[in-house]
Amino acid sequence: MTIVTSVDSELSALLGIQQQRIRVQRISSVDERRARIQRVIDMLVARQDEIVDAIDADFGGRHPGYSTVNDILGSLTALKYARDHVAEWMQSEQRAVFSPYDQLGATASVQYQPKGSVLILGTWNAPVYTLLSPLAGVLAAGNRAVLKSSEIAPRTAQVLADAAAELLDPADVAVVTGGPDIAQALTSLPFDHIVFTGGQAAGRSVLANAARNLVPVTLELGGKSPVIVGRSADLATAAFRIAVGKATNGGQICVAPDTVHVPVELVEPFIAAVRESYAELLPTASGNVDVTAIVSDGHADRIDEYVRDAERLGARVEIVPVEPVDTTERRRPLRLVLDPPESAMISQEEIFGPAMVIRTYDDVEQVLEQINAGPKPLALYYFGHDVEEQNLVVESTSSGGVTINDVLMHPGLLDAPFGGVGASGMGHYNGREGFLEFSHARTVFVASEQDPRREWGMLPPYADGYRASMAGQVTPE
């Protein structure tokens, strides 16, 4: 016997409110969709300072400039792009009709309908962006949404929930706070689609819960995004851009460079170049307000243990900048871990913080074999100007997306899909692909006035020659 708690009842009631609105108004006009998106934009503009301050407090130190760029402007850009393009995305598409009905006046089209009510589960490293970026496509597609903020960033979650309660209609967009129990309850409800950003273990739980109600799911799960530095790369540029990627948000990004593969003869110049570039960006870690703190003591301890474990197993560790690791706070220097054994934790687990594995190689084909032997990553990066090798890397691997001669760039494209593949996720959003992800593509066939099937002998009672007539059309051309 299932005991329904008051929390379950409240969440079910919230979904019920949205589903009732959907039943009353199945299709929304362009203006209505734009208005819903605009209300979220207005809310974000009005509460930006409170949100940025809350993120800083949740992290224990994250520069307000970065939070403004990533979570405020990043979300606004996605929302505005959807608002400004939804009219063209909504247009039905004419499709070809099979013969002979195409000659008799029949028509066919694909129309894009809202799925209904969509649950969006965000994560702590981009606590606003991972909610509002997919929300852009959800609202553009004419859906309603329930947003669940990460409990690891509770202040941000509360600010967003308070803002939504005051400025948004919960029948259109509602924000829910709480821990894993709330996420379990929400993902067990019959939403019409679920979007989840986070780790693989939680992603499996979301998928299992959704399966009970046959709810389609979009999962963005991250992974160990590899970087290949080719022999044709500009080493200084590659080192600088990788250093920037690793310094961004303290490496706490789902597409952050995790493992860098460097030709064996270039590894020492590469380490020196990374050291120079990273130290230019962040000359100190301890007490430096430009350094994003690791979000919690538990996460900081996890990363520290990854590095200690690699050292115990004989790996060389370089600290950038060279300074003692101050465990009285959660800001850390970058730790470069050179050629750790495959058994090391840092070789197996997504780092998600200010540490990076460097592996040496002789032949790029060996690197591709290594990458292809592991789980498919969310992002893959290649540095080099050898076009043939570029093509080899792209065509010989599978990943959610690829950036050439930089890192972190392709997820920011507004007019291209972002998402994972295999272990790094399923489905995608951003721009029109997000609109399509959260729409039901419905085929509409309009029949012609004339139906030739009876006169052609294609309806019962069948003529003696019916089978032979049809068999005569079975040809290889």
Cβ 310 vs Cβ 338: under 8 Å: no
Separation between Cα atoms, residue 32 and residue 18, nearest integer Å: 15
Separation between Cα atoms, residue 393 and residue 441, nearest integer Å: 34
How many helices (H) and strands (E) are present in the chain, helices listed first? 17, 18
- Whole-angstrom Cα Rg for the chain: 26
Per the annotation, the verdict on 276 as an active-site residue is: no
- Active-site annotation holder among 50, 88, 254, 318: 254
* 3-class DSSP assignment, residue 299: helix
Cβ 172 vs Cβ 21: under 8 Å: yes
Closest CA to 187 of 205, 174, 171, 199: 205
Neighbours of 425 (CB within 10 A): 26
Q: How many residues does the chain have?
A: 477
User: Can you read off the two tokens belonging to residue 451?
Assistant: 């139906």
Which residues partner with 445 through β-bridges? 108
Cβ neighbours of residue 76 closer than 8 Å, sequence gap 6 or more: 41, 44, 45
Per the annotation, the verdict on 318 as an active-site residue is: no
**Unique residue bearing structure tokens 């019920």:** 16
- Active-site annotation holder among 220, 265, 395, 433: 220
Closest CA to 25 of 146, 193, 214, 171: 171
Cβ 473 vs Cβ 465: under 8 Å: no
For residue 129, give Cα distances in angstroms to 66, 133, 196, 331.
12, 5, 13, 23
Closest CA to 121 of 152, 99, 100, 94: 152
Half-sphere exposure of 325 (CA within 13 A, CB side): 21
Separation between Cα atoms, residue 197 and residue 222, nearest integer Å: 8
Active site residues: 220, 254
